[in-house]
Structure 1
Amino acid sequence: MHRTEPTSRTARRSPVRLLASLFAFALALPLAIVMTSANTAGAHGWITSPPSRQDHCATGRVTGCGGLQYEPQSVEAPKGSRLCSGGSGWTVLDDESKNWPVTQVSSSVTFQWRLTAAHRTSTWDYYVDGVLFKRFDQGNTQPPSNISHTLTGLPSGKHKILAVWNVADTVNAFYNCVDVQVGSGGDGGGGETPDPTRPAECSSAAWNPSTVYTGGQSATHRGHAWRAAWWTRGEEPGGTSGVWRDLGAC
């Protein structure tokens, strides 16, 4: 009588199939984690006008900012903070002993954001000296790379305005502090004084698309001086990437 042994053969194959399944899962898991991280950490941005504290660090007006000079867009921390750093590692932003420049403004101010990676947004919150002054609802939609909000009726005097960008689908937000003097009055020693002269960077070489520029390096292009905020090559000054800071006409 002929005997078949399907049971024993199946038993011998089962461990192989199990190992193959586990191996495929192990390969897929890191990819899933990376994709999830990319979706939740893709948003970055900061206020360029009036200059925020991290913008002053990026342009070199304020020194001793560490790596923030090259990453003004990366002040990210869990929602709910009232610190300029948001409680992140960029604690230099909370240092009130620094001579943060103060911008002279009127009672109506437009805050210009530069987003290097937009993300679905719930709200934009503006606090004046720690008190919520205005909230703009983005409706969980993705904002443009250059977005602005206008505050009206600001009280006169010197104020620290905290702007918080609340990303919709993460627990984090992005934090910016802007020091302003509303109306006439002293600026506490750090005020911005209009400079009628050309930027010193006008002596820089013309921008070259094949040249590598790192954060803090400058170039001239189309009659203006520009400073790179981080590593770049081939991104034209004045474009939408946000890597170049316009320092003014030459």
Structure 2
Amino acid sequence: MMNLALPNHALLHKLVAACGMLLMLALLMVLFPETSSAHGYLDVPASRGLLCKNNVNTDCGGASYEPQSAEAGKGFPNGGPGDGHIASAGNTFPKLDEQTSTRWSKVPMKAGPQAFKWQLNAAHATTTFKYFITKPGWNPNAPLTRASFDLTPFCQVDLNGASPSNYYTTNCNVPERTGYQVILAIWEVSGAPTAYVNVADVDFGGGSALPAPTNLASTAVTDNSVSLSWASIAGAASYQVYRDNVAVGTTTSTSYTNTGLSSGTSYSFTVTAIDSSGKASPSSSVVTVKTTGGSTTTYPAWSATTVYVGGNKVSYNGVNYEAKWWTQGETPTGTNVWKVIP
């Protein structure tokens, strides 16, 4: 006579439970498809997390590796990350919540029309981009809370479910401020409870009595580095160095070497002095320096008496420039009528 084996009921129950979990995960992926792939960060002005990734800010924890993952709930200020955990996107990267006037490098900012640019790893359907700024008189030495910010966005772009480009720009009118401020930038994804939360530490200037550093000069140049020096400023606690308007380092001395550069490439540098409260002086004059190496093209030397029109190319102090429009007697700097070219 044939014996029939009865099923192992315990094993059967485990299989049923496992299938149920898989079904639930599949359902969540259908309902919230954006949450696993829609990542992004504020590129301009550079966010606190991006400056961590670029080694301008230090001791940042996980933000140094994936600033695009600062994810929290939607709906700020009514929802979203809690007070004290705004910069970390609800404790995603706890180190980013550390807040003092000198903890983070600052990006230069001016009131008026400014472009805010996001790098989106996946440009999914979007509800809105919105931007908040700290109030005049906020306390830079206390954790960021809703009380720190003007809770009416100074800029908001509603996409109503449309998908932005992977490098998306919003043009905003930034309100008047002085000194150190924090801009809170939020990208809310459509069809999911998700928002990507970035803060940018910005400096409007005008908040410090310190004068702009003077005598900024290049003291040494290699294929991949530029060394700078400048005159000491009485009362300065530190100095911040900018390359092409992006902060690249802070030092307490009057010299700095910027490494990791490309050979045969021109870079523009400025320096600000930072006082003990974290407020920055106006920027120094621009110094444009070209690294050695690489293939180079030499153009006629610039002359103060020659008339130039758009497209004319010259060399000045070892750097090549192209005129944007008619000019005469205007020294090439890369920040005026003359633009730096290879």
Provide the TM-score with structure 2 as the length reference: 0.48
Alignment correspondent of 1:117: 122
1:25-174 to 2 correspondences below 5 Å: 26-27=18-19, 29-30=21-22, 33=25, 36-37=28-29, 39=33, 40-79=35-74, 80=79, 81=81, 83-97=86-100, 99-107=103-111, 108-129=113-134, 130-131=149-150, 132-158=153-179, 159-174=181-196
> Where do residues 233-244 of structure 1 align in structure 2 (5 Å cutoff)?
none
- Supply the distance in 1 between the matched residues of 2:239 and 2:175 (Cα, whole angstroms): 18
3-state secondary structure, aligned to 1:93: helix
Gaps of 5+ in 1: 1-11, 205-221, 224-248
Letter in 1 for 2:109: V
In 2 relative to 1, CA 146–161 (structure 1 residues): closer, same or farther, beyond 3 Å?
same
List aligned pairs for 1:14-29, cutoff 5 A.
26-27=18-19, 29=21
2:233 match: none
**One-letter amino acid of the counterpart of residue 64, structure 2:** Q
User: For residues 75-114 of structure 1, what are the alpha-carbon distances to aligned partners after superposition, in whole Å with 9 as ceiling and x for unaligned?
Assistant: 0011223612221331222211362111112222211110
Q: Which is helix-richer, 1 or 2?
A: 1
Count of residue correspondences: 193
Deviation per CA, 1:94-137: give whole Å up to 9, x if none.
Answer: 21136211111222221111011222110111001122211110
**Cα distance per residue 1:188-243 (max 9 Å; x no partner):** 97875334899511379xxxxxxxxxxxxxxxxx99xxxxxxxxxxxxxxxxxxxx
Residue in structure 2 matched with residue 175 of structure 1 by the alignment? 197
CA 1:122–1:189 in 2, change beyond 3 Å: closer, same or farther? farther
CA RMSD of aligned residues (A): 3.7
Determine helix, strand or coil for the equivalent of 2:59.
coil
Aligned-partner SS, 2:242: coil
Matched-pair identity in %: 29
Cα contact 1:167–1:173 (8 A) shared by 2: yes
The letter of the residue matching 2:22 is P
**Closer, same or farther: CA 191–111 of 1 in aligned 2, 3 Å:** farther
* In structure 2, C-alpha distance between the alignment counterparts of 1:121 and 1:192, rounded to whole Å: 36
Deviations 1:155-196 (A, max 9, x none): 131321000111111112110111112354449978753348
Amino acid across the alignment from 1:70: Y
Q: Please state how far the C-alpha of 1:31 moved relative to its aligned partner.
A: 6.1
Give 1:29 deviation, angstroms. Answer: 4.9
Q: Give the conservation status (yes or no) of the 8 Å contact 2:50–2:67.
A: yes
- Pairwise mapping of residues 189-208 of structure 1 onto structure 2 (< 5 A)? 192-195=240-243, 199-202=258-261
Check whether the contact 1:50–1:111 (CA below 8 A) recurs between aligned residues.
Answer: yes
Matched residues in 2 for 1:135 and 1:162: separation? 12
- Kindly tell me: are residues 182 and 193 of structure 1, through their superposed partners in 2, closer, same or farther at Cα, counting changes over 3 Å? same
Superposition TM-score, scaled by structure 1 size:
0.64
